[in-house]
Structure formats: structure tokens, C-alpha cells
A and B are shown apart, each in its own frame.
Chain A
Amino acid sequence: MAIITISRGSYSKGKEVAEKVAERLGYECVSRDVLLDASDRFHIPEVKLIRAIHDAPSVLERFQHGKQVFIAYIRSALTCRVAKDNLVYHGLAGHLLLKGVPHVLKVRIMADMTSRITAEMEREGISEQEARTLLQRDDEERRRWTRSLYGVDPWDSSLYDLVIHISKLTVSDAVDFISEAALKEQFQTTESHRRKMEDLALACQVKAALVDPFFDVGVTSDYGNVLIYAKSGDRHVNKIKKRAKELEKEIEGINNLEVHAGVPVPEDAL
């Protein structure tokens, strides 16, 4: 009973590892499904969500906060799935979107550039130089995306519990390590973990419902008691309060919902 996120570069065999881990543990294996859920629920074309989670924001986008809106949608879809437990997520940014969830086993799978180039050349039928350029561009895009939205480098190994280099170690070795680690006590879903996860999923749903146009509100949830933090002097406070009342009826699991304006936003708020 665990949640596993597998972060990977393209052609790093991370997908294969994730599928095999899910098969071994009898877990659900999720990647694109999260985007499809978000696309259905928020009526956004999937391609826009893919761009939001893949391409680094341009200078203009940083001011428009469009990406934050789409990411809030994706996060909401992901946390709803994760709240059901027993899941392997190998889509983009799982370790960042589920930050703060204590029982998530965060894994990064890496592979040598040479083997990645060979895999891309075989699949796409392109030259070595083209494959190298595409991979380098893709890696750089991931780095820029993560740095600009979360201020961290995806290559930083301290973001993960395990980093496995597929070279001397094989896909099957990686599957063994991950499956074994996932069964350890610290990654098991306890009652307190389940509650935290449900609270995160609830806060994400509220945030997703408010983020467009109120992208800078903060949201927390504790035992289903949702707090929405608006900036002091925000001319939208009344609108937020009105929308919050509607949300109390629309979203399941809310015990109580309050809007606080002018109060410092807690660090763990979404």
C-alpha cells in the first residue's frame, strides 16, 4: 500500500520500470491518464495541459500565470487519483506535485546519454546528431520548467529517495529495488497519511476551482476544514467569498470553509 512517483528523462527506460513495478505490486500505473482526467474535468484541451507541464514558461507567461492555472488542474487530477492509494505515477513532475505527502516513494531513473540516443534513433529513425540535439533540448526544457516553477533542479538527487542509473544496473534490478523499498514501513499508508492525502486532494480541488482568475490565493485543508487565504486589500475578496460558498456545496468532503484576508499565508498552503 504505497504511492510511487518515478521521474525520468525521455528514453531513460523509466516508463518500462514504472510499468513493471506496477505489475509486480499489483498497483495502478498512471501517466497520461492524469492529463486526460484534468482535461475532462476542467474542459481544457489535453495539448494545452501537455504544454503547461512540459514547456518552460516564457517571459510573458510568467506574468500571465497561465501555467500555474493548468498545473493546479493537473495537480488536482493527480491528487484525486493518488488519494485512492496503490499507484505508480511516471508522468512529469510527480515528486513536485505531491510534495509534502510523507509516504510517497520518490524515484528517479537515469540512463546514459549514449543509450538514450540509440533508443531515440531507433524509434524516430533520425541521425545521431539529431537525436542528441533533441534529447539535450528536452532535458534543458525540463530543467527550465522545474527551476522557473519550483526553484529546484530536477537533476538534484536530494529531491528523491532513490536514484537508479540504468547502465550496469538493469531495468529488472531497478524494479526489484523499487518494489522492495515500497514495501518498507515508512512508505505504507497509515490512517494519518490517508487523512493528509485526502486533505491535500481537497485543497487541490479548491485551489483548482479558484485559480482562474484568483491565481494567488493560498489554500490549506486540515481534517476537511478548508482555509482560503487572500491578500489584504485584494479587491476580489468578496468575489472569492461568494465563490467559496458555492464550492462548499460543489466539492465533497468539506467540513467547513473560511476565507481569510490579510493573514500571512502558511508555507504549506497551495
Chain B
Amino acid sequence: MPIIIISCDSYRTGRDIGEKTARAMGYDYVDREILPPVCEKYGVQEEKLLKALEETPSLLGLSSKLRNRYLAYIQEATLGQLLDDNVVCHGLAAHLYVLGVSHALKVRVLSPPEALAGELSTESVASPEKAKKIVKRYEEQRKSWSVGTFNLDETDPSNYDMVISLAQIDPDEAVKTIADTAGYRKFQPMTYSVKCLKDKELAGRVRVLLMNKFPDVKVKADGSTVVVETKAVKREKRKRTEAIKELAGSVEGVSYVEVHVATDIFRQAAESAR
């Protein structure tokens, strides 16, 4: 059975649509409520995970290194939930990292601009023009967050199967449309699409484990084979390869680890200059 991933410009509206869809289809609903166990497991405050999902790195906020690590935790937990199938997922940015999985139906829901502006602004929104400005500014922030983090524009409709605006369409009608669409044959899991999702989940687990020591690692999985890409100076290459192989090999489901270490030219140059 398919996975439904809902992205929405308003967390409240997305949650409402997600819960209703899950209820209509008898599916599980997954959202930010899965974060407390993640916080406990990794000893992180929930507030920080939420910041990583919403804010771009800044001097006073999260560093990009920390944000990437927190997002990796979220990604690992979300992918684990999605493996169960029959799931409606919202609010965990899954639309940006569950790519190439054909049984995932991705829907973007847009709230009416006035309602969204009212939610975003503490002041009362007097005119539709002001509402539009507030929404535009927020959209720009989300765009910059998603491009900076996953190199994908969250506001680009081509990243979804469908976009529904609630300005004219009633939320219950939107829910019905989503539920009907999820029933289409193309969104039924196939051996290959399930394998893609399992690969992503395994890669997510390995990445979380490696990130503490090697924050720049990129991990791909194919069955039980894991390919890790990283950077190091020449003399560290062998040591790093061995450490990665040992760590990644200890993850459940991994039978073979391939490590590609590229030369870190900046560190190499800095060390040669000393």
C-alpha cells in the first residue's frame, strides 16, 4: 500500500489534512510526534530538531554542521516509519529526501493566503496585500531552507504529484482527492520501489552512525552493500577507510562496505603551506 507524503505551507493545516487522510484510509499518521524518542536516543532538545527543520543556518542559530546532523536523525527516524507502509507522513520534510520511490504519493497543500498570514504574523493582517507580502516572505525563507539543505525547491510544483490550493477547494474535498489518488495502481508498492525505500532507510542509519566522527560523509545503499564517500588528506585515507568500514559494518543489515575517499584539497593545501 502506498505512502502519502504531505507538504504544506502551514504546519497546522498540513496536520489537519494529514490526519483526516490517514483516518479516511485507515493508515497510520506520522508527523513531528515521532521526534521525542529521537531526542531521547541522541540526547538532543526537541526545540533544536524543530529549528533544523525550519531555519537556515545562521551565526546566532544553528551551524550548518549541527543542522545536518539533526536532519540526519530526523531522516533516519522518518524513513524507519515509512518502511511500515500504509502511512501518511507530514511535517518531517520527507518530500525532499524520499526521492525515486514510486509508491510515495507527494502532495503539496497550500493554505488560503489570509489564513496563513494570520498564522505567521502576530499582528492582525488588515489587507490581502499585506497578507500576500507576509506569505511571500515566508515562501522565500522556505525556498532558501530547502535549496540550502536538500538542493530542491520546496515551493516548486514539479517536485510533487499534485498541488491543491485550499483557497477555493474545501479541506474535506482535498482529503478525498488525495485518498482517491493514493488508490491508483501507480502508487502501489512494487518490489523495486520497496527496495529503493529500504536502501534509503539503511543509508540513513549508516549515515547517522558515521556523522559523529565524519560529518561530511555521503552514504548510498544497494541491498546490503553500502557505499560511503568522504574526503581526507592523503595520509589519513587508509585510517579513515578502515574506521568507516568498521563502523558501517556494525550496522544491522550491512554485509559489505565500499569507501571512496577523495583528497581534501583545501586541508591538503593548508597542511603543505605550514
Residues of chain A touching chain B, judged by Cβ–Cβ distance below 8 Å, are 105, 108, 110, 112, 155-158, 160-165, 167-170, 173, 177, 180-181, 184, 186-187
Give the contacts of B144-193 with A (CB-CB under 8 A): 155-158, 160-165, 167-170, 173, 177, 181, 184, 186-187
Contacts of A169 on B, CB cut-off 8 Å?
161-162, 181, 184, 186
- Give complex CA distance A108, B169 in Å: 15
Known: A168-B187, A173-B181, A181-B173. A155 touches B156 (CB 8 A): yes
Query: Could you pull out 12 A-B pairs where Cβ atoms are within 8 angstroms?
Result: A112-B158, A158-B110, A161-B165, A161-B167, A162-B162, A163-B108, A163-B162, A167-B161, A169-B161, A170-B186, A184-B173, A186-B168
Contacts of B91 on A, CB cut-off 8 Å?
none
Give the contacts of B121-158 with A (CB-CB under 8 A): 135, 155-158
> Residue A155 contacts which of B157, B161, B187 (CB distance < 8 angstroms)?
B157
Q: Is the interface of B mostly helix, strand, loop or mixed?
A: mixed
Instruction: Check A157–B181 contact: CB distance below 8 A.
Output: no
Q: Is the interface of A mostly helix, strand, loop or mixed?
A: mixed
Instruction: Check B163–A162 contact: CB distance below 8 A.
Output: yes
Q: How far is the CB of B257 from chain A (nearest CB, A)?
A: 34
Instruction: Check A165–B160 contact: CB distance below 8 A.
Output: yes
Instruction: Check B165–A158 contact: CB distance below 8 A.
Output: yes
Closest residue of chain B to A181 (Cβ to Cβ) is B169
Closest residue of chain A to B176 (Cβ to Cβ) is A180
Contacts of A112 on B, CB cut-off 8 Å?
158
Contacts of A177 on B, CB cut-off 8 Å?
162, 177, 181
Contacts of A187 on B, CB cut-off 8 Å?
168
Known: A108-B157, A168-B102. A184 touches B170 (CB 8 A): yes
Q: How far is the CB of A4 from chain B (nearest CB, A)?
A: 12
Closest residue of chain A to B184 (Cβ to Cβ) is A173
